[in-house]
Amino acid sequence: MAKDVAAEESTSTEISLFISLKLDPVFRLVPKFITANEHSASQKQGLYLELFRAVRDAVLSLSNRMEAFITLHTYSQIWVYPYSNKKFAYSPDVDELKEVAKKAVESLGKLYGTQYRYGTGPETIYAYAGGSADWVKETAHVKYSYTVELRPSYFC
């Protein structure tokens, strides 16, 4: 698992936090308060680099006390555990991560009547590189690290 990762963590179509050690020059989603005419690409890159550093530093400084890390997205109803960068790439404790994901999905189903899938990225949707849950698991050594794709609202 590479220590040099990039990830776009979106909580809505309006807000985006770009986490990257090597910033992607193409910013697909820009925070609501920044319009295309307000900042040059280099200024935007600086903003995202500051955001990345703040999140990275917070996670690393708390990692010895963190028991879980969950990043929320709005795409589908999926509970994803590491690793998602390629097929058949699993964390050494995948069985435990899978069991916790299964229990979480079952609990959500009982509470809200939802049907979530669970697994790694390639098992549930597709392989993707640079997910923050993978980075936190690998680099910060947080045992329970998940990406939760929340149920869609107006998209479906």
Q: Any idea which residues carry the catalytic annotation?
A: 149
Residues 6+ apart with CB under 8 A from 147: 70, 71, 73, 78, 80, 84, 121, 131, 132, 133
Residue 108 and residue 114 in contact, taking contact as beta carbons nearer than 8 Å: yes
Are 125 and 78 a contacting pair, CB within 8 Å?
A: yes
Q: Which strand (E) or helix (H) includes residue 52?
A: helix 41-62
